[in-house]
Structure 1
Amino acid sequence: MPSSISTHASTFSTFLTTSTTNPFSKPQTSISINGDNALSAYRTQATYTTHSRITGTVQVVSPNCDVRFDEVVITFEGTISTWLDRFNPTPASGGRTYAEKMFLKLTQPTDDTLLPIPRLLTKSKTYTFPFEFVIPEKLLPSACSHHRSTSSQETAEREEHLQLPPTSGDPLLPDANGVLVDDSFPDMLKIAYSINARIIRRRERDNKPVVLSSSVRKVRVMPYAEDAPPIMLDGEVTAAPAFAGGGSMGPRYVLKKEKDVKKSLFKPRLGRLLVSAHQPNPLHLHDPNKAGPPSTTMVPISLLFTKTTSSSSSSPPPKLTTITTKLRIHTTFSTTPFPHTPQQEAAGPVGNYSTTHTLSTRCISNTPWTGNEAKLSVPVSPPKGVMLVPSFSTCLGARSYSLEVIVGVQNSSSITLRIPLQVSFPPPVEAGAGVEVGVEEFFTPRSVAPPSSSSVADEERRGQLPPHMRPRANLPPEGLPAYVFPPVGGEGGVVRIPSPVGISPGCG
């Protein structure tokens, strides 16, 4: 699988030569995926995830004449493409750079029995070639082989870059409901998965492959993404004074903030209000192919009011007004491998693109205070009209999220926190439910003691005894007498009475 990154300043180069033959003599190829409606195949698009099977057929037909060919190549490919404008003082050093990388390539083996002998596409005859691809769980190590700046980044960064990224930045690819979705990706970053079919003929003079006909079918992929550990933040990042702006090159996250509280603008201060937050649990995405309630996570907020002077000892805590939550979506991209870390705004040859979506505004004027402390739990759900993808990081781009929590204080300016938020897409829990039940049943102790007469019927109904220990009905074999005894305990029983020695059956 190719792992190199092609970077150039104008157009992309192709590794296969396009055929220059008469277009009327070219064969036609089409790709169909099983389960799609032929009338709406390109208006609805299922989302595939880890271990999903994509099956279908490639149909080839030459409508006008017989065409010689050598190979039918069917592949499943994943590519990432970026571009970046360089603004330099001199025009010669500026311009736009492009990069494209194929991080995944699966090839469908072709059944030789389906290929005609000789390799000739007969006019107006349709040839069908099936394919089946399975979305892998991880990429091969060769997909990320660039040099890291420090050895400490080797393990963590490489592990992130070997995870499959989701389909991103394609505004013309609909979802399972046939709706064009907005994933808030810029034009500078695009991640695409597609099924490619090529009819190839090799030139006789140099054996170079020539593409006679090709077809591409895009598919939407959202691999499973497990919950990641909380982001490790430095002390200077998690705490900031009230005047900290956190510009584009400053700390991205502010988990603590404090400010002076006054009764009015020209009155002396009564104390200081400290607002802090903890990183919330990851926001879990649901299966995009199934309708369900929106996912929600809770953000814990703590408020602490500290009185500064003895004259303010009798002053109550400040009155709160509203709390507003906003979701900031961060996308970084580059044309060369770069560590896209979520702790700091990227600098250098990296582009940044961010969008902000207001989630909710709630009234908190009735928040109860316990002494000088108060606690809030703010629910957070995905914004409407925006398709979120799991947080990811690759060699050329990354996606991360953060929350802006704005706490309003009466007679004072508001306090804004910026909290990291991880978005994940864990596998369904039902997948391991059957295994857990089997394990518990295996370790459940079983009794091997002979059953009592009163519990034989119950244990037989429950099926807890092996077949050779289950009580059998005392029915006599053929030729032996059977007598019905009076009921014992309200039930009748049939028992076998063996014949005495020397007395034939039926004697008195």
Structure 2
Amino acid sequence: MSSPSFHSEGETSHYRSRSIAGLLSKPNIQFSLEGHDGPKGTTYSTMDQIKGTVTVTAQNDTRFDELEIAFMGSSKTFVDRMATTAAISGRTEASKNFLKLTQPILENEYPQPRILEAGQTYQFPFTFNVPNQLLPKSCGHRCETRGVREAHLQLPPSLGDKDLNANSGVAPDDLTPDMAKVTYAIRATFVRIRDNDSRETIVAEKSKKVRIIPAVEEQPPVSLKANLEDYRFRQEKNVKRNMFKGKLGRLVMESVQPKCLRLPSPKGSGDNRVTTLATIMLRFDPASEASQLPRLSTLTTKLKAWTHFASSVRRSYPTKANTMMDMTQGVHGDSTLLSSRNIETVEWTKHTAPSTRRTSTNWIPEPSSAYSSGPFYTCSILVPIDLPTHKSFVPSFYSCLISRIYALDFSLSLHTPGLSSPSVSIKLPIQISCAGSPDTPASPLSMGAAATNALEAVEEAEDVFRPRTIAPPSAMYIGGSANMAGLGAPPSYEVFSQHSGMSVPVAG
């Protein structure tokens, strides 16, 4: 353990005066954003404009050479590895800068000469458009399917910052663990180039976080044969008369993925209620024609939010099974009770012949494993799904390091004398989408693969003529944590702005 250091009173005073002088010598940077005073604070959606001003005041004359105002997007994760062997225990970390847009600053906007004079205030305006998707190089690793790659090229929402949520007028808790964070910010950096070696030094730097909730459309439903370890669309269970007598029959509980929960636009007004409807189908195959129908009791609905995070890039959609086998992955689940409804009055319908008739909302489940022939009974239960307002929900998304998916857990309890409330349950996937701002153009998300193909073709063509440097990796990237930022800075949006009809700020 290192020994504490001591200073005499004179030395301490001199040290403090130097520290205070050093702090005062740095220019003071402030940000102001247009239209951020509403109840939703600094929350922006896809294609929204982020307009504002950087104001800087220097305590002393401060020379600089360049000013960079950038809109940045980054993700950070860490995974704690718990193992019996100390050699493989510990923590792995990763960070990835997936977005950088730079504000062009004209020569006549700089003070001449480039000196921030003491006591003077300088203002530099900026305008950024939140892009509808990332450039292909933001996800440069191999993916198992094209769908995974396209999902990784969508903007992830701001995640894991309770203070930012509170300042933006939404519930602080967004169901995210400390191990995952997605951050967007406007960053202003004053740079000076040293005369002796031409190296850049930062004169002053400051960032202001902004909350981004992108527009997200509903995606195709999950295949009934996929992710069987994470979801359960159907379950069967024997129903007994009581503890000592035989079974009444076999109960089937079944459903399909409901329509998505659609969040309102971050800048929307009016009713912000987010709701959808799930249909639960029950089928009872009696052991005999004399068997009594099961007495239904309570249907409990919970929303599970699963946050997957990793310290290495993901090549496939995350599942809980994969997480258990990979020490670079982690998953955090958060459960929210949505409702608990008494369903004793639900009426059964008797069927005398096998049928799988289906209507727009109801259908007849397939027979249970115990069914042979004879009459059976069905009923349907419509379950409203309402998102609570005391928590902050973000759209479903998949990114290179972090993903958020949701599931609905329906648990049905029965009245059975002498038994402790037997239950049957199913787990359904559900998506959360989000509407875009009403005053911005329609999101070009519908371009999908076509837009990705066009951007890839342009980048591949221009990449042939780009200069290359071959050198050993820097020591800062060898060993230690997995720093995804070391893979390179986020790609410029210059290609996108030159080769499409959209107006996107050019990154430097």
Give yes or no for TM over 0.5. yes
Letter in 2 for 1:226: E
Name the residue aligned to 2:408. Answer: 403
1:45 equivalenced with 2:36 (yes/no): no
Higher helix share: 2
**2:262 is aligned with 1:284:** yes
Selected match of 1:54 from 50, 62, 82: 50
Note if contact 2:224-2:233 (Cα within 8 Å) is conserved in structure 1: no
Match of 2:198 among 192, 207, 223: 207
Question: Which of these residues, 172, 176, 188, is aligned with residue 197 of structure 1?
Answer: 188
In structure 1, the residue matched to 2:298 is 322
Alpha-carbon distance in 2 for matches of 1:126, 1:293:
41
Question: Are the equivalent residues in 2 in contact too, given 1:302–1:375 (CA < 8 A)?
Answer: yes
1:414 aligned residue:
423
**C-alpha distance after superposition, 1:275-307 (max 9, x if no partner):** 101110011111244342411111111111112
Map of 1:120 onto structure 2 = 115
Contact 2:53-2:126 within 8 A present in 1 as well: yes
How many residues in Structure 1 have an aligned counterpart in Structure 2? Answer: 390
The change in CA–CA distance for 1:46 and 1:67 in structure 2 (over 3 A counts) is closer
Q: Which residue of 2 aligns with 1:28?
A: 28
Aligned to 2:495: none
2:234 matched residue in structure 1:
256
Partner of 1:333: 309
Q: Which runs of 5+ in 1 are unaligned?
A: 1-19, 238-250, 434-508
3-state SS in 2 of match to 1:173: helix
Distance 2:72 2:441 in 1: 30
Asked if 2 retains the 8 angstrom alpha-carbon contact of 1:340 and 1:346, the reply is no
CA shift digits 1:343-363 (9 cap, x unpaired): 554321211100111111111
Between the aligned partners of 1:315 and 1:428, the Cα distance in structure 2 is 57
CA distance in structure 2 between the partners assigned to 1:340 and 1:49 by the alignment: 27
Residue of structure 1 in register with 2:392 after alignment? 387
Percent identity over the alignment? 37
- In structure 2, do the counterparts of structure 1 residues 431 and 180 end up closer, same or farther at CA, with 3 Å as the change threshold? closer
Closer, same or farther: CA 67–343 of 1 in aligned 2, 3 Å: closer
| TM-score (norm. length: structure 1) | 0.73
Q: Decide whether aligned partners of structure 1 residues 274 and 174 sit closer, same or farther in structure 2, where only a CA change above 3 A counts.
A: closer
With over 3 angstroms needed to count, the CA separation of the structure-2 counterparts of 1:111 and 1:166, relative to structure 1, is: same
Aligned position for 1:352: 331
Shift of 1:208: 1.4
Shift of 1:430: 8.9
Residue 431 (structure 1) shift: 7.5
The 2-side partners of 1:44 and 1:28 are apart by: 27
* Counterpart Cα distance in 1 of 2:226 and 2:163: 43
Matched, 1:305 2:284: yes
The higher radius of gyration belongs to 1
Provide the residue aligned with 1:129 in structure 2.
124
Check the 8 A contact 2:47/2:440 in 1, yes or no. no
State the Cα deviation string for residues 368-397 of structure 1 (Å, max 9, x = none). Answer: 111011011111111341111000001101
Alignment of 1:135-284 (within 5 A): 135-148=130-143, 150=144, 153=145, 155-175=146-166, 178=169, 181-234=172-225, 237=228, 251-284=229-262
Q: Which residue of 2 aligns with 1:463?
A: none
